[in-house]
Amino acid sequence: MELKMMGGGAPVDYKKGTAIASHVLASEKFIAGDRELKTGTMKDCGNYQNAGMGEGSDYYAFNKAPEGYYHATAGNESWAPELRCPKSTVRNYLGVSAGSIAKGKTIAGIAGNFYGNKAAISAEAARGFGSDQRDDGYEESFTLPAAGIVYYGGFSACYRGYSGNNTICEIWKNNSVVDARNIDSWNWNWRGTMFNKSFTANAGDKITVKAYARNGVHVMSCIQAVIVYGY
């Protein structure tokens, strides 16, 4: 075993050196176990590096920082070194988006545009004498983005109607009629019992309200639904 004296100190056994180039800062010299003078290759990462995000049971972590040496620049010791994570990464990780923030509020630099988890659809139609005829028919639809409840109400009326689907007053879920107050008969009919009613719906269900005033004199139909979803 070869021993050498360093500055008058105790003998140093170079053969026991365990450092490798990746353990030593780039441009710095070291003597390896084979007694050769070598240069380190460890990257000097400087004050900061961009990083990603991770999560533990009780913490959030900034991760994926490059391997290397981190240090504070003289005069900046109060804040460096640091790992920087883009704001967009943090927002995406925490699910912060305009659609999840109330209109008029701002979180993490994102202005909200969410008005609420409700939608209203309606249809109405009426037919009068001759040139006084108005909307013959109308329908409107909405597809639920999340499960919810559909609250609805409506009525149909006919004075001097003719047979043959005088008025149509219906609410549909997908391709099936849920409720209807149609009139297909002669004279003075009024059907207005579609009040304070509701049914459940799932994400992806298409809700449609239909109102038609087809035959007769003074025929009308009106229906409205308020859909509350994702509550």
Rg of the chain on CA atoms, in Å: 38
Residues in Cβ contact with 40 at an 8 Å cutoff, skipping those fewer than 6 apart: 21, 22, 23, 24, 25, 26, 27, 28, 29, 30
Q: What is the pLDDT of residue 1?
A: 44
β-pairing, 69-70 vs 44-46, is parallel
Strand partners, 32: none
**Does residue 54 have a pLDDT over 90?**
no
Q: What is the pLDDT of residue 75?
A: 63
Show the DSSP H helices in 57-116 as ranges: 87-94
Q: Which is more confidently placed, 136 or 93?
A: 93
Which domains does the chain show, CATH number per domain?
Answer: 10-111 (no CATH), 118-229 (2.60.120)
Please state, in angstroms and rounded to a whole number, the distance separating the CA atoms of residues 94 and 57: 15
Share in percent of the chain as helix, strand, coil (round to 5): 10, 50, 40
Give the lowest-confidence range in 39-43, 51-55, 76-80. Answer: 76-80
- Average model confidence (pLDDT) across the chain: 80
Give the lowest-confidence range in 27-36, 59-68, 201-210. Answer: 59-68
**Does residue 46 have a pLDDT over 80?**
no
Q: Which of 125, 35, 59, 50 is CA-nearest to residue 81?
A: 50
